[in-house]
A and B are shown apart, each in its own frame.
Chain A
């Protein structure tokens, strides 16, 4: 990296009153405040944040409930059983607020326990997707040539794949666990559509004047990519994290619903349990299917809403005038 030579630095440079990191922090806080103001203008984003926080609170409440309120044996989400009730699935009661499933386990406990794995799945998928997409997008846009052609053709191929179908086949051939699924989904997302979008954004950044300025000042390729292109891509990357979380949760739910994943408990698996016990169309026993389905739909919708609200910040053309 060709650093700018420090010899031209005048010895009598004025001493900065505040240190550089403070200035940066203040700038960062200010932009955060403006952006949050923009975000808060739009109620749909706040609704999304609210729903996400609601589900996030489950991950904290559940261990506490297990420790202080619920009997840890009876309320275990995987191996629990309530012996005081003669027939399962039992309707909601004071002990079991959402009833029990056909195997005698508490539905609310399952629902709350699964939330954590949904968040882990979503987070890992989103991180893998965005890490790959941002790196490839920035490199392909900056260097162009063979690298660009290779990855863009690859992306063209990946977006054509019917990926639930492929995941069904993969889970039939291999023993899939949650973390494998997260990585596969992240790879499919990161090499596919997200890369194309991030690369096209990187192309518009590459031709800006401050990139020229950085190059004239002697900045090397990696310096420009790391310090100028990637930081400007991050808002868009963050936006696509939201959308990939939403896709990951939905895919996991569908695969578990078909009984194809090797996991202990998840929302999709709760519906699968109801399905193989023969309660799939028995809407009288709504507590078997509705809580899990509503949770899946609501959490997906929440991430999507937040994504849309962020879209209006990142993409100013959509803003209301």
Chain B
């Protein structure tokens, strides 16, 4: 297990360096450089231009520039963002990154959870028009043009039903009189969510060891208690309604991403289940006279889970991509929107910083998913 993890870690580090190299090559291969910025100014003498290039370090050989850039990138120094002048790129990223991570993480967990449940049930009900309808519906959702889908979600939930706000991170009218700033509230929300999920996880682990008859009520009571505790805490802080406002703005993007992504998981789970059902141990379970639900949930679905986890490993980068689109449609000020806006106004330092950060996020996601995979599949641990 340790050897596997170490090799994975080493591989990820290597990948990260290669990624940085690719980013540098992209940056260096673009037509023109910053030394040409004032090229159209006739008052600039050749000597001055030479001095400008020397100041920017553009007269050094490529390899040296690469190592200088690499050193700065590793120290997190991506320069100053043009479009957020005079803020540092790293500063902007530090503000926007948590917003992306929370959006992306909640959507991923929700979509894989729902997708797995749905695929499990779908595989068990083979044949008939219901299956075709579910398959075609699933494929439709899986291949739908995401910006359009997000727009329809905004139109339906935000514009027609007016249940959710149309976009943005918060409601400026409400926040005008706020005693604290948005980041303060948002970081508190993140910490609360983290503590609540850890407590809930430990409780559920504990509840699994209880008597089967008590298991379900015990876990529900635990979840309820944690929810009440979170709500009670926020009511007591006095900024609860601001937190509720951010949460309200967060709901629709998460719903959209989760709905668009769950179909892929559903179809994959179905296929994987269909392969598992043919195994001998399923027949053995049937022969023992176990109820269908137990065969499905305890024997088939746990073994069918592995390809789904593999797909999850591969999907991390793609879901981040979906995040860019969703953030743009919902004007959610995360990394994706920052990157796109910077790309549109050619704010190169910001673009590169955001790209490197997205790369780190994708790599970390992969590493975590790999660890999860090793925990779930003993064959990986011992090979």
Given A44-B136, A161-B359, A172-B346, are A254 and B144 neighbors across the interface (CB < 8 Å)? Answer: no
Closest to A290 in B: B148
B314 and A170 within 8 A (CB): no
Dominant secondary structure of chain B at its interface with chain A: helix
A301 and B339 within 8 A (CB): no
Q: Which of B11, B132, B151, B340 contacts A281 (CB 8 A)?
A: B151
Q: With a CB–CB cut-off of 8 A, which chain A residues contact B155?
A: 281, 283
Instruction: Kindly state whether residue A140 has any CB partner on chain B within 8 Å.
Output: no
**Interface CB pairs A-B, < 8 A, 7:** A156-B11, A159-B317, A162-B324, A174-B29, A281-B159, A289-B148, A296-B145
Instruction: Kindly state whether residue A20 has any CB partner on chain B within 8 Å.
Output: no
Contact with A along B329-367 (1 / 0, CB 8 A): 000000010011011101010011001001100110010
Closest to B135 in A: A44
Q: Which of B135, B166, B321, B340 contacts A163 (CB 8 A)?
A: B321
Q: Which of B26, B136, B318, B342 contacts A170 (CB 8 A)?
A: B26
Contact with B along A152-189 (1 / 0, CB 8 A): 01001101111111101111111100000000000000
Task: Number of B interface residues at 8 Å Cβ cutoff, please give it.
Answer: 58
Q: Which of A172, A254, A283 has the most CB of B within 10 A?
A: A172
Dominant secondary structure of chain A at its interface with chain B: helix
B324 and A165 within 8 A (CB): yes
Please, how many angstroms separate the alpha-carbon atoms of A37 and B144 in the complex? Answer: 29
Closest to B154 in A: A281
- In the complex, how many angstroms separate the beta carbon of B119 from the nearest chain A beta carbon? 14
Please, how many angstroms separate the alpha-carbon atoms of A175 and B151 in the complex? Answer: 28
Q: With a CB–CB cut-off of 8 A, which chain B residues contact A308?
A: 135, 139, 267
Bin the interface of chain A by size: 35 or more
A156 and B324 within 8 A (CB): no
Q: Which 9 pairs from chain A and chain B are nearest by CB?
A: A172-B343, A293-B148, A164-B321, A300-B143, A173-B30, A296-B145, A301-B143, A162-B317, A162-B320
Instruction: Kindly state whether residue A57 has any CB partner on chain B within 8 Å.
Output: no
Closest to A303 in B: B143
Instruction: Kindly state whether residue B274 has any CB partner on chain A within 8 Å.
Output: yes
Instruction: Kindly state whether residue A75 has any CB partner on chain B within 8 Å.
Output: no
B339 and A169 within 8 A (CB): yes
